[in-house]
Structure 1
Amino acid sequence: MSGGLEDIEQQNQLGSPLLAEQASSFDRYDVAQTTESHHAAKTTDSILNSLVDSATVTSTIVTEDCDHPSSNQGDHDNKKISWVLLSVILFFNASGGPFGVEPSVKAAGNLFTIIGFAVMPILWALPEAYMTYELSSIYPDNSGGMRWVQEAFGEKAGLITGYLGYVAGVTTSASFPVLFVTYVHEQYFSHLSELNWLYRYLSLASLAIALMLVSFRGLQVVGRVSVAIFLITVTPFLLMLIFAIPKIDPSKWLETPSPGQIEHFDDDALEQTGWWPFAYISGISLRPFINNLYWNFNGFDQGGHLSSEDTTTPDILKKGIMGSFFLVSSAYLVPILVATGATDFEQENWNAGAFATAGNEIAGRWLGNWIVVAAGCTLLAQFFTECSLDSLQVLAMADKGFLPSIFRTRSKYDTPTVSASATLHI
């Protein structure tokens, strides 16, 4: 009996390591299963979180697309004017063609006028154009120069600049319809000594309202109409160049001022006996000559009114300003070279209308009449382009709190309605 118990006890002692080993195996298996389950749970949670995040992102994108559909972005981009339209708009704000350079030829003669209109773009117009682009890129705002002055010298200086700039703009643009009616009267109704005051008033008012409607339709329409008038304005001078090539005598470009002192100029009412007598150097009448040069190359800073993000982009602005610079420079120099080289005009005969007379002499009366029509059309384009930028000036002043908020009212064409109406009445 005792032997049997000893055998059983011995078997138990021998079996205990095996049982312990089996228990240990089961424990390791349980730990592995627990760890694997834990990792699986974490993986599942990660996948679910990723799906939730993806759904959130997708929902956000869909929501943003619904709030800002691509069609709206396209419509916004369509409101921006192209650099070609911008170039032509600035062309009419800064120049409008060679009409008005006659006092320079009268004051300085052929040679110095050619030198002046070849050098002045580099000395004055190009730095002004570059300054406009640089400041407009830093401060993309329709207020233009008013914003630049405000940033440099404060709000009061900015307000004064905006006010004076607006007054200068509207007073300048107010003269364009008057000059147009005067041209039409002298060309087609010269038998009438003077227009009846009522007819004159109705003509000017009707013309101003009709032209303001172009501005009211927005910058896209202003730009397209300006391009059409630009072609009407430039084409006769291109034709004059073609007809004048066989007649050009380069030696005429070297003619210096005549020894006589000229005292009467179209753009300078003061005579030599006035407070500021003329200064002559080598026969050049400096005051009207320099004044005319600056006047003809001034106005590129108007591009600042078209620099807002709703109107242009920096790339469009850069191309538009440089395009206007080349248009203005060539629109002056080429007609001067043609008219002085292909005609026998005396220096004292360079008065307003000299280019029409040159057209008559070079190609015939038909070209002279076309140049007169071009001069009249230029005045119309100068009016509605100037009024468009003046209206943007008023809008910008209202946006900055310098004027009542009513001037911020816009039409369905996104044009400043009240600002344009105020400009028209003034």
Structure 2
Amino acid sequence: MNARSLLAGATLGAAVVLALLAGAVVALNLRGETPIDEAARPLEATSAQIERGRYLALAGNCAGCHTARGGPAYAGGRGIETPFGTIYASNLTPDAETGIGRWNADHFWRAMHHGRSRDGRLLYPAFPYTSFTHITREDTDALHAWLRTLPPTTQPNREHDLGFPYNTQAALAVWRALFFSPARAEAPADAQPSAEWHRGAYLVRGLGHCAACHGSRNAMGANDAARDLAGGMLPGGKWYAPALDAASESGVVGWPGDEVVALLKTGRAAHASVTGPMADVVYRSTQHLSDEDLRAMATYLQALPPRPEPSPKPAARRNDSLMRRGEGIYAQQCAWCHGERGEGLPGVFPALAGNRAVNLANPANLVQIVRHGGFPPATEGNPRPYGMPPFGHLLDDAEIMAVPTFVRGSWGNAADEVSPRDAMQR
């Protein structure tokens, strides 16, 4: 056999392998899908179904992504940062040309459950269909019915700002083949866990899509199933969503259930308060949920297997001059509210001594609060929350590094000092 024949054979073999791989990718992307009746008319919804859909939209915080700042409700246009570029949320109003006015219930179900648009295009997982795939058909029909009652808004969808190859359907198909599988309907266990636990799991893992922020991700942006709620940096690298399965971060194992409900309902509890991106979630979403659903979420979160805490590290070595500089600024700017020894004022100003948000291994949240301020949400149960003013206009990067370093190393706190790179995050 000559060299030309060998080359032709190798080329044919490579082509066969590529064809098989392409076929596998296509097959994996069509798992569980059924044909769509394109001619089907929208379902005639009952008033109860529409009201249920309104509630589900709150539970899923749909407005949080699909309403641009200052823009029409649910008309899309908000940019969502990812490590691969910016994804722009779509128009969910029933406008026939730019929204979902021509979508029937099957189209909507396919988008939620399979991550595929009305025209068959694969959707980017910035729209968290990897979580929404757990939502029942009954609930997607109700949500679709309510969205159809919104005022139609003509607002064309913006083109995503993604570089090659992330802007291709082929790359997205490969990603989905590797990391996405649509959920299968499963009957709840008839013994333990309880029905309340199952409802909480449905809300946390499905509608609430908590793993979209609190889940760890791999280099390709896919959630790590083994570390579903183990914490992670939000896109943009400014905020860290603490782990929900670790007592040293945001775990609630051992909390009274009423305190977990209060935190989700009002943004404040005896052990903690919310700020940053989570304040927006409480404001737009969880404060509007029923006490029964909040208690179910609390039951599920409290039942998460606690992640082993890391072994104590040797005492961190600290830059003495940085500590002194931070101490001076703290005495001038911070002690008025948080106390000379970080003791705070119960119910008003949070204590910094022993505060687990202060002691997180990742100091990103503390830096952002010093720079931009910390504001809990205004809720019915806490209509006038105390907030912390921003200091970014008063302190330079070196000073913003010094203050958190001092706080993280004082009054029994033992977290690492803040690095210049951390302090420069805007």
TM-score, normalised via structure 2 length = 0.21
- Higher alpha-carbon Rg: 1
